[in-house]
Structure 1
Amino acid sequence: MTPLGQAGAASRGDGPRRRPWIALTLLGVPVLAALLGPWTAGGTAVARGRGLPSQPPGAGHPLGTDVLGRDVLWLVLHGGASVVASTLGALLVGLAVGVPLGLLAGGPRRAVDETVMRGLDLLLALPGLLVLMTLAATGHRDWYWLVLVAGVLQVPAVTRLVRGAVLAPATRTVVEALRMQGRGWAYIHLGHLTRELAAPLATDTGGRFSVVLYLLASANFLGLGLPASSPDWAVLIERNSDALFTQPAAVLVPAGLLTALCVGGNLLVDHVLANRGKGR
């Protein structure tokens, strides 16, 4: 092999080893800010005091102030918890409902399969933001409503994934063999199928994290979710968008953290998928 070819092979070999660190760094910064931010910021919004609105970084306010004169650094350190918690909560709702429905639809009864899947097709046809706008218009603006509805909107996709895995020829053959051995429903579905579904579900959940994050951030940015006084990163972007050129840190810092969270999650999922492909 020529030196140029060896260099190219080396660079290709180093790529997969470098990518996880990039992904983990991008993902780790906003996650650590969300988990440790409230502990390191200290005090309360009142204790921190307020300055003049939309002031650039300076003494006492390392990232400046927002349109209400609040310290941007304090808000950023307290705003990530709601982002991560609401996204994970919506994912858990989607999995808790979608996995049992997928197992049910993939069962031997075709009538049950048709009933479940056709009902979910109706939900799949509804645009997510339109559902959240309708929810907000009816007065249901509490955070738990936002998380619940965002999670329910993920149910059709999760159900289809589980149903497809259950209906795969190899899986059906093993299930039929277990039934012939006298194994019960609980052993087959909660034992064997759960283990078989763990890897594809984990991969799908990693990619779905970005979908839910985008949906919730869009809802908060449009004023459909958390109140305007919330330090949530998406709310901060919306409240300070008019001051982008006078106080860019109030917009770019939370926007950068949201972007890093989304891109880091996608890169990590891509790395996992690439490693699974090599392992086959």
Structure 2
Amino acid sequence: MTQRAGTPPVGRDVSGRGPAVTAGGLLASVLLGLPVLAAVLGPLVAGPVGPPPDSTALPSRPPGPGHPLGTDVLDRDVLALVLHGGGSVLGGTLGALLLCYAVAVPLGLVAAGPRRTLDETVMRALDLLLALPGLMLLLTLAATGRRGWVWLVVVAAVLQVPSVARLVRAAALAPGCRTVVEALRMQGRGWAYVHLRHLTRELAGPLATDAGARFSGVLYLMASANFLGLGLPSSSPDWSVLIQRNSDALFTQPAAVLVPAALLMSLCVGGNLCVDRALARWRAAV
């Protein structure tokens, strides 16, 4: 379909200076921005999370003066808990993703190299790791006393390494990539130049697409572990821990469950929408 003269390009504002603000883009920014702002700025503006030392009130109080979202089962202010609890969610998920890609990308590039023996060794070892059920591994670690934020991040990252490494290997072995790689090798370029400069740039699109979907998977895994009591302690203000601790009071104090659940869902959906839109703009620009 041709474009009429004088009509601004699709997706750009009338001045031609940049992408136009659309309803979808605004929705994605709001969905991602709210939980991120709560996680980053919340601890700076939130009050104390513990109950008043002289408080004799009943727990799970509904919203009222001094407690806009009510209190939880330990008589703690839900708003303060929510503002303090996003850091472990966002930091843990991003930390697990960064650790996963830092390990998986070099492994995938090594497996895609010319040595078939090394390729088989790496891939078969990753197949064994791929067969491990995530929650079962976390349950085993929790039973041996190895629980906490660090263990949760490490396990979540390790469990994602096999699939990311396979993705990197498959993309690096694509015909287009292999042709350019062979040409660079004939020019005398070293391994670091070929793989870390050229192939990494070629893999940016597939890895960005994978990161959007994998963010949701890592978030789901970590939230499930915390909900089942396999990660952070029950006194933590983490959003998934709040959902688990207050699930019995859902009908008497729903804000203690629905607010952290809504923030988790908003973080997951908003992250995927923003990645999709960023990739769409990148494809249009190349």
The TM-score, its normalising length taken from structure 2, stands at 0.89
SS of 2:22 mapped into structure 1:
helix
**Comparing 140-149 and 39-48, the one that deviates more:** 39-48
**Separation of aligned partners in 1, 2:78 and 2:94:** 25
Does 2:266 align with 1:260?
yes
**Comparing 260-269 and 65-74, the one that deviates more:** 260-269
Partner in structure 1 of residue 169 of structure 2: 163
Partner in structure 1 of residue 128 of structure 2: 122
User: Cα RMSD (Å) of the superposition?
Assistant: 2.1
Partner in structure 1 of residue 32 of structure 2: 27
Unaligned runs of 5+ in 1: 2-11
Opposite residue 103 of structure 1, the aligned amino acid is: L
Identity of aligned residues (%): 71
Maintained 8 Å contact 2:226/2:232 = yes
SS of 2:170 mapped into structure 1:
helix
Does 2:233 align with 1:239?
no
Partner in structure 1 of residue 92 of structure 2: 86
1:172 to 172, 178, 198: 178
2:194 to 179, 188, 206: 188
Opposite residue 53 of structure 1, the aligned amino acid is: P
Aligned residue pair count:
270
**Separation of aligned partners in 2, 1:226 and 1:40:** 23
Opposite residue 132 of structure 1, the aligned amino acid is: L
1:139 to 127, 141, 145: 145
State the Cα distance separating 1:220 from its structure 2 match: 0.2
Structure 2 CA distance for partners of 1:75 and 1:235, relative to 1, 3 Å: same
Does 2:234 align with 1:228?
yes
Maintained 8 Å contact 2:208/2:275 = no
Moved over 6 A (4+): 12-16
State the Cα distance separating 1:151 from its structure 2 match: 0.3
State the Cα distance separating 1:42 from its structure 2 match: 3.6
Structure 2 CA distance for partners of 1:120 and 1:23, relative to 1, 3 Å: same
Unaligned runs of 5+ in 2: 2-9, 13-19
